[in-house]
Amino acid sequence: SSISSIRQRKTIHLKLLSLVTFLILSRNVYTNCSHKSNYGIALLLSSSATCYSLPAKLR
């Protein structure tokens, strides 16, 4: 049970890390591409997809 709890904690940590990374990226994208809204949205979607697929691969 201890191994599974460690693994669960690691997964939670990775999710938090990816969320923080996503928020930083989204803020950067928003400030850099606010004048190019379509490009900004596309970049935001791709970055969020990358952030959420990374923890899934590591699981």
Tokens of 47: 């970055």
How many domains is the chain built from? 1
Residue 20 has pLDDT above 80, yes or no: yes
In this predicted structure, what is the pLDDT of residue 16? 86
Answer yes or no: are the C-beta atoms of 40 and 29 closer than 8 Å: yes
Q: How far is CA 11 from CA 7, 28, 34, 39, 49, in A?
A: 6, 26, 33, 31, 17
50 vs 11, which has greater pLDDT? Answer: 11
Dihedral sign from CA coordinates of 36, 42, 45, 46: negative
| pLDDT, position 6 | 81
Which pLDDT score is estimated for 19?
A: 84
Q: Which residue has the higher pLDDT, 14 or 40?
A: 14
Task: Please write the tens of the pLDDT for every residue from 26-58.
Answer: 777 666 655 556 666 677 777 767 666 665 665
Residue 50 is part of which domain span? Answer: 2-58
